[in-house]
A and B are shown apart, each in its own frame.
Chain A
Amino acid sequence: DQQVKQNSPSLSVQEGRISILNCDYTNSMFDYFLWYKKYPAEGPTFLISISSIKDKNEDGRFTVFLNKSAKHLSLHIVPSQPGDSAVYFCAASWEGGGADGLTFGKGTHLIIQP
């Protein structure tokens, strides 16, 4: 039973345009959400997170939106740059979440085209 779903295995976006990566979750106990970026042969790098008490969090070119009623979150990257080409993982946890680790989606491979 997949509790965090990223339904797009890959996404291709032109350089300079907006990249939108989507993530859905099923467990209503989740109250903290994270996005990680991963290059081949490297570990995941933390990008941005959002608590369930907010619906938006922004950090430079990266913005995460949370829609609790739809159990959906999205990561917007504006403008997209070649170095953004990587696999992006959505992850979720809850306040007592230290015990269970993070729950990850399967990832979306973002390809930025010149």
Chain B
Amino acid sequence: EAGVTQSPTHLIKTRGQQATLRCSPISGHTSVYWYQQALGLGLQFLLWYDEGEERNRGNFPPRFSGRQFPNYSSELNVNALELEDSALYLCARKGQEAKNIQYFGAGTRLSVL
């Protein structure tokens, strides 16, 4: 059991709009990682939140942003959507038995038309 819930499952937007994606780790987990998986590519690290703070971000433009709430759920916001933002966005939590293992939610499929 991954212990990560993501919503919505699918999201369709048009170019220039904003998208908001949500992630909730199971209780007791304070870290949330966001990844982008574009078609034909591996997962690319986007953002890491821990204890309510952004701890690190990958090589993505500033229009990719987010936040983490006091209950450790998280939002990923993508502003000024471009066609190439169409991808599967995955959220992960750290494992308890080994901090380098991450467990993923089912993802949000974002389609930009």
Closest to B35 in A: A101
In the assembled complex, the Cα of A99 lies from the Cα of B6 at a distance in Å of: 22
**B40 contacts the other chain (Cβ, under 8 Å)?**
yes
A89 touches B43 (CB 8 A): yes
**A41 contacts the other chain (Cβ, under 8 Å)?**
yes
Instruction: Count how many chain A residues have C-beta atoms less than 8 Å from C-beta atoms of the other chain.
Output: 26
User: Number of contact residues on B: which range applies?
Assistant: 20 to 34
A46 touches B40 (CB 8 A): no
User: Given A105-B42, A106-B42, A46 and B100 touching (CB < 8 A)?
Assistant: no
A34 touches B31 (CB 8 A): no
In the assembled complex, the Cα of A98 lies from the Cα of B32 at a distance in Å of: 10
A 34-61 to B, binary, CB cutoff 8 A, 1 in contact else 0: 1010000111111001000000000000
A103 touches B100 (CB 8 A): no
Tally the A-B contacts, defined by beta carbons under 8 Å. 73
Considering the complex of A and B, which 8 residue pairs feature the smallest CB-CB distances, nearest first?
A101-B45, A43-B104, A104-B42, A104-B43, A106-B42, A32-B100, A99-B56, A43-B106
| B interface residues, Cβ below 8 angstroms from A | 2, 4, 6, 31, 33, 35, 40-46, 48, 50, 55-56, 58, 90, 92, 94-95, 98-107, 109
- 25 CB < 8 A contacts A-B: A4-B42, A6-B42, A41-B106, A41-B109, A43-B4, A43-B104, A43-B106, A43-B107, A46-B101, A46-B102, A49-B98, A89-B42, A89-B43, A98-B48, A98-B94, A100-B45, A101-B45, A101-B58, A101-B102, A102-B33, A102-B43, A103-B45, A104-B44, A105-B42, A106-B41
